[in-house]
Structure 1
Amino acid sequence: MVQSEKSNARMLRGECFCRAVRYSVADEFAYSMNCHCSNCRRATGSAFKPFAGISRDRFAVVSGGDRLLIYGDETAHDAHCGSCGSLLFSVVREGTFVHVTMGTLLDEPSIRPNAHIFVGSKAPWYAITDSLPQYQEHVVAR
């Protein structure tokens, strides 16, 4: 881990399964959740996708950017490694935020998921056993 030049935040490292694509991200995540939507389940091959959200300018692909396979457009897309298929991050919120897939982080982030979202479409074979709040769809702002 290194320090960010923009702030005193620790910089975390992440990479895909085959290590062809590597990224760095400031340990300044704004939120973190477990998404159970069918798209996240299909993209990860898992029951849910743990992710952490951060401003896009606090995230950078440091190597292998030419190997990224992008599904979507500049303002909303999933970025996979074109070699191994790992889902590394998603660009969301009209291109202003990145959702980092927490399973691709090499370093431990200070944030932990604090809710389950889209449990209305979760895998029927998976039982949520923790005490985190559950939302049928996305978290509703109050």
Structure 2
Amino acid sequence: MANDESGMLTGRCLCGGMEYEVRDAFNYAMNCHCSNCRRATGSAFKPFAGIESDKLRIASGQDLVSIYGDAEQAHDVHCMRCGSLLYSIVNNGATAHVTMGTLVEAPTIKPSAHIFVASKAAWHEITDDLPQYLEFPTE
């Protein structure tokens, strides 16, 4: 599904078995450097965009959904076949944190900050001018 007049974006896992649709109406986007995001992605940080959970739906591959964490409160949604982390559900199920690297089309939002830099990988140097927060920004 292309980024069209309805403002929908498509995301998919590495093997293509799972696909989701999400509105291009993200509330925020950040680069998370916490150890959990690093482990989940195998990368120095996880670029993610936050949106209300009801603005995201699995379009295909429901049978491949693998949930890691508390199914109600907060969890990660992976593809059971390839292991791709597609999104996380947080805030007692109210918010989805979409992993931006799984989006097929470019969203209109870009990350605006680095968060949890107090626990960032020692081998990674942040070289851009985005604000850096030791934890999650509260303002």
Normalized against structure 1, the TM-score is what? 0.93
SS in 2 for 1:33: strand
Partner of 1:136: 134
Q: Deviations over 1:74-128 (max 9, x none)?
A: 2210011000000000001110010000000001100000000000000000000
Partner of 1:87: 85
Between stretches 129-138 and 66-75, larger displacement belongs to 66-75
5+ long unaligned stretches in structure 1: none
- Picking from 79, 94, 97, the partner of 1:96 is 94
The one-letter code sitting in structure 2 at the alignment partner of 1:97 is: T
- For 1:26 and 1:2, the matched residues in 2 are separated by 9
Whether 2:63 is the aligned partner of 1:66: answer: yes
- Picking from 37, 40, 43, the partner of 2:37 is 40
The one-letter code sitting in structure 1 at the alignment partner of 2:9 is: L
- For 1:120 and 1:47, the matched residues in 2 are separated by 13
5+ long unaligned stretches in structure 2: none
Q: Deviations over 1:56-84 (max 9, x none)?
A: 11100000111111011222100110000
Normalized against structure 2, the TM-score is what? 0.95
- For 2:63 and 2:88, the matched residues in 1 are separated by 16
Partner of 2:125: 127
Check conservation: 1:9, 1:28, Cα contact below 8 A: no
Q: Note closer, same or farther for the CA distance 1:69–1:63 as it changes in structure 2 (3 Å cut).
A: same
- For 1:65 and 1:37, the matched residues in 2 are separated by 28
- For 2:61 and 2:72, the matched residues in 1 are separated by 18
- For 2:43 and 2:76, the matched residues in 1 are separated by 16
- For 2:107 and 2:35, the matched residues in 1 are separated by 26
**Large movers: runs of 4+ above 2 Å:** none
Partner of 1:116: 114
- For 1:133 and 1:86, the matched residues in 2 are separated by 28
Check conservation: 2:3, 2:105, Cα contact below 8 A: no
Aligned residues between the structures: 137
Q: Deviations over 1:25-52 (max 9, x none)?
A: 0000000000000000000000000000
- For 1:119 and 1:102, the matched residues in 2 are separated by 19
The one-letter code sitting in structure 1 at the alignment partner of 2:17 is: A
Using the aligned pairs only, state the percent identity: 58
Partner of 2:51: 54
RMSD of aligned residue pairs (Cα, Å): 1.1
